Amino acid sequence: MTDVVVTLLVLVVVIAAFVWNRLPVEVVALGAALALYGTGIVGLEDTFAGFGSGTVVLIAALFVVAEAIDAAGVTTWLGSLLIRFSGTSRTRLMVLMMVLTALLTALISVNGAVAALLPMVVVLAVRLGRRPSELLMPMAFAAHAGSLLILTGSPVNILILNAALDTTGKGIGFFEFGLVGLPLLLGTIGLTLWLGPSLLPSRTPEALPKDLGSHGKTLMTHYLGEDGLSRLTIPSGSVLVGQPVACIQDDDDGGHLHLISVQGPDGKQSTNGTFEPGDEIVVRGGQPLIDAFAAKHGLTQDDDATCGLISSSYGVAEVVVAPRSNLVGTEAYPGMVTESGALVVLAHQHPGEPESSGRSRVTAGDRLLLQGTWSALDQHTLDHNVLLVDSPDTIRRQTVPLGPRATPALIVLGVMVILLATNLVPAPIAALLAALAMVVLRVVTVKQAHHSMAWTTLILVAGMIPLSTAITSTGTAEILAEGMVSVVGNGGHLLLLVGLFVVTAVLGQLISNTATALIIIPIALSVAQESSINPYAVLMCVSVASSAALLTPVATPANMMIMQPAGYRFGDYWKFGLAIMALYAAVAILLVPVFWPLQA
């Protein structure tokens, strides 16, 4: 068999395997690379070239940046703005939600934006008395449109950029994608407002994500009843400076005010025995009593805190004592410092009993409410002796808009966008510098950076690059392009764009749009060369068509993410998806030639 025949066979098997959907896509992609090596189509270096490509490095770095933006509380802040300004108006809610989703997608990719906003949108739907199914499909489709606003919106954009550079020596501008992305976004919003009520399915999900937005109040009610809890800071001019800690308990006006802990500026328990400037004291009691105590002693309250439990710098974690835990039989009491010295026990509760205010024995199943800095909670609650109810990271992301690392995260993001927009350095370098800065500035930990990687996407791209190379190097792309040109060539260049759009869009409903782009790009470039069409026009047509993954839940991870929370069925997507698909076709076939003329 000739190299062309072998390449075509591998291509057909790969597409069939993707559609069959019984094998992990990583296995299919890597299997294709190995099959090409085994048949001698590509050499050893080309087989693994994808893992060292700038494209994969760029995509991986953007995953870290996306994780940092979410971890810094930026997405929570954006969600709070949406809730504040949307009100009860369906039109305002849809427009704001879709614009927000598109803008976030442009910065951190479709899957990252949908994953970050999904819990917030579901909670918003419940609070407004709407079904999540009314909002989640428009959100996902807005994300697809938003992926074409700027370069960083999608891995496909990066593939298109690299293809343009390899073919013409000139890339596509950072904001140039917006020439088609902005009309797609506006059209998607318009169709949602017009056709959404009749085409969007009305479904009831089996389960909804946990809403931790009012977590502080819930914990207060559960553990402290009607008492308040406040963290008070001792300024240098306070009358408490230099006084013994016991003076609070002896205060005539103390009433039922209870001192839980005294912590230094580093968040750890103070061991001085006296109050020092900058110390923070955690007190429990009636809120009027706390306010009067703070005023009398010149103390400042943390206005940023939620119920005195959660703020941008510290938070709480609820843990359950595990069976056979080493803690069983020990004593616990409010104000006790844990063994690490970084966490304070705010409350201790036996199952079925009220919260214990004094010393009591720990038994299996007891609940402990711990407070400390977010980093200390992340580090010290992963203990085999206790079972964590809600991870501190999850609580922080839902309850702390613009956390302590939001400023450096936004600065790094802004610098990255400037570098990408101005081409001062290659795109992979700019993104990698941003990812490293996020770790160095402690916006994300190394562990979080590792977890942020969507390995399926990375391995898929790296494994499919050899097949894309083989399609070009063996002449397969030219043969397929000649076939397409011979079929529709007499119909003119616009009909060629129609053919490219249909093939790309249909394939994109069945397999990953990234894999689709890797397969179609070399064929599209051969079509451009065969028909003397501007390569930028065909590449942008492929870019738009690849983003039109709207008709099935398996087309993109974002489509799949919304399926269960919304209660969608497999056949729910195509009705509304076809209307949006018509918009994509119009943009790809009619608008693309306006900005990138077919005759270069």
Residue 59, SS3?
helix
540's CB contacts (< 8 A; 6+ apart) are 160, 172, 180, 588, 592, 595, 596
Q: What is the dihedral of CA 35, 39, 40, 42, to 10 degrees?
A: -20
Contact 69, 75 (CB under 8 A): yes
CA 266 to chain centre: 30
Of 399, 74, 386, 36, the closest CA to residue 219 belongs to 399
Q: What is the pLDDT along the chain (600 residues), one digit of tens a residue?
A: 788 889 889 888 888 887 776 888 788 889 999 999 999 998 998 899 888 888 788 778 878 887 888 788 887 787 778 778 877 788 999 999 999 999 988 887 787 678 777 767 887 787 777 888 999 999 999 999 999 999 888 888 988 998 999 888 888 888 999 999 999 999 999 999 999 999 998 887 766 656 666 777 788 777 777 777 788 888 887 878 877 877 775 444 445 677 887 877 766 676 677 888 888 888 887 778 888 888 888 888 765 555 667 877 788 889 999 998 999 989 888 888 888 878 888 888 888 777 666 788 999 999 999 988 888 888 888 888 899 988 887 787 777 777 778 899 999 988 988 887 777 888 789 889 999 999 999 898 898 899 888 787 788 778 888 887 888 788 887 787 777 767 765 667 888 899 889 888 887 876 677 878 888 898 889 888 888 889 999 999 999 999 998 987 767 778 877 877 788 887 788 899 999 999 999 999 999 999 999 876
- Whole-number pLDDT of residue 94: 93
88: its two tokens: 């009860």
Query: Which segments of 155-285 does DSSP mark as H helices, in order?
Result: 155-168, 178-199, 215-219
Do 215-301 and 314-391 fold alike per CATH?
Answer: yes
Contact 338, 370 (CB under 8 A): yes
- Is the pTM higher than 0.85? no
Q: What angle do CA 93, 94, 95 make, to 5 degrees?
A: 95
Architecture field, domain 314-391: 2-Layer Sandwich (3.30)
CA distances 156 to 164, 186, 311, 368, 548, Å, are: 12, 21, 39, 48, 12
- Whole-number pLDDT of residue 189: 97
Architecture field, domain 215-301: 2-Layer Sandwich (3.30)
Domains of the chain, by residue range, sit at 63-208+406-455, 215-301, 314-391
- Alpha-carbon span 47 to 214, nearest angstrom: 51
- Alpha-carbon span 380 to 386, nearest angstrom: 10
Edge to edge, the sheet with strand 314-321 lists 355-356, 344-349, 367-373, 314-321, 386-388
